[in-house]
A = this chain, B = another copy of it.
Amino acid sequence: MMHNKYSVILSVVGSCCDRYLSTGYSDPFTLPELFDRVASIDHVTGVELVGNWHITTDNVSFIKENMQRTNLKMVAIIPDHFGKMEWGKGAFSSKDHAIRRKAIEHTKEMMDAVVELGGDLVSLWPGQDGYDYLFQGDYIEERNWIEEGVRECCQYRKDVKVALEYKIKEPRTHSYIGTVAQSLLMVQKIDSKNCGVTIDFGHALEGGENVAESVAILKKYGDKLFHVHMNDNYRSWDDDMIAGSVHTLEFIEFLYWLKRTGYQGWLSMDQYPYREDGKEAASESIKWLQAFTSIVDRMKDSEINQLFEKGNANEINRYMRERMFGK
């Protein structure tokens, strides 16, 4: 039996905006309301925060109060490397040395904050670190800067895990930390035990990955899967939809490989429910994941190993269909 731990990123239950409707698709909530909304979702025991959007060095105790009131565990902080004008052209790989320093300092502050709040993980998503136009960046040096910056953060506190969250594009047309394998090359270069990778299910899909295989690759090259973000999309963009609302077999295979590789971390909902109530949208994700998990629970490793040994597509389809819908 898989025993999943579910958490929700605080912004999921808030109001979402996009470039056409920058003032938001619905009215905003206060921070305490967001905590209450997360806590009210069945099966959710943890919460994940975004730097600046939710947490700064100034409001840690206020956050702590909210966590205590709602009895939510600190899953992770995502430091802000994307949501202020100063990050607009990059954070860890900014061409401006002072900005690169700020990216590191903010990360360290969030590492301190996460420990203060009972957690041990920051998930770095340097979304502005990349480029839009050909000939816009030195692909070697700018990657070196990211590796140096992240290494400094990793060495700052060995008791905090630093996970790189890869994404192929957006907000830049090209991200430097784009795929699972690129992330691993960086992690190997950074060479710090507390450095690993966050899989965002939708980012992996958008990058053309089979997400279950990405789990396997992280296992094979150093056991580096540190954290997981859940959502869904149509494969060409990070639509951040309800997990399970588009894909089915991909989620089943993904959960199976989480189990097979012994993943012990959280499944954290990371969605943009522009036109839906976010509380329910997170709840729907969890219910899909539970449905898929119960299918995985009907699969024995010995059976799967036999499927792998033969690789017979017809047998695989029969096996999967019967686990999903019975004979």
Contacts and interface: CB of A to CB of B under 8 A. Distances in A.
Interface of A: 16-26, 82-85, 87-89, 95, 127, 131-141, 143-144, 168-171, 173-174, 179, 181-182, 184-185, 188-189, 207-208, 210, 212-213, 216-217, 219-221, 233-237, 239, 241-242, 244-250, 253, 256-257, 272-277, 280-281, 283-284, 287-288, 291, 294, 304-305, 307-314, 316-321, 324-325
A230 to B, nearest CB: 14
A126 B239 CA distance: 19
A316 B135 contact: yes
| Nearest 10 pairs of A and B residues by beta carbon | A181-B181, A139-B216, A248-B248, A280-B314, A181-B182, A284-B317, A138-B308, A22-B22, A291-B325, A139-B213
Given A18-B18, A208-B208, A246-B249, A213 B174 contact: yes
A133 B313 contact: yes
Contacts of A133: 241-242, 245, 313, 316-317
Contact of A184 (B181, B213, B236): B181
Copies in the complex: 4
Q: Which of A20, A25, A131, A143 has the most CB of B within 10 A?
A: A20
A274 to B, nearest CB: 7
Contacts of A250: 134
Contact of A20 (B171, B247, B308): B171
A182 B183 CA distance: 10
Contacts of A171: 18, 20-21, 274
Contacts of A246: 134, 249
A321 B184 contact: no
Contacts of A316: 133-136
B88 A311 contact: no
Nearest to A181: B181
B249 A134 contact: yes
Contacts of A132: 239, 241, 274-275, 313
A136 B308 CA distance: 6
Contacts of A314: 242, 276-277, 280-281, 283-284
Contacts of A25: 85, 88
Contacts of A305: 138
Contacts of A169: 236-237
Given A245-B313, A291-B321, A291-B325, A168 B21 contact: no
A228 to B, nearest CB: 17
A136 B311 contact: yes
B26 A22 contact: no
Q: Which of A84, A184, A219, A275 has the most CB of B within 10 A?
A: A275
Given A21-B83, A88-B21, A253 B134 contact: yes
Nearest to A184: B185
B135 A307 contact: yes
Contacts of A273: 313
A242 to B, nearest CB: 5
Contacts of A281: 313-314
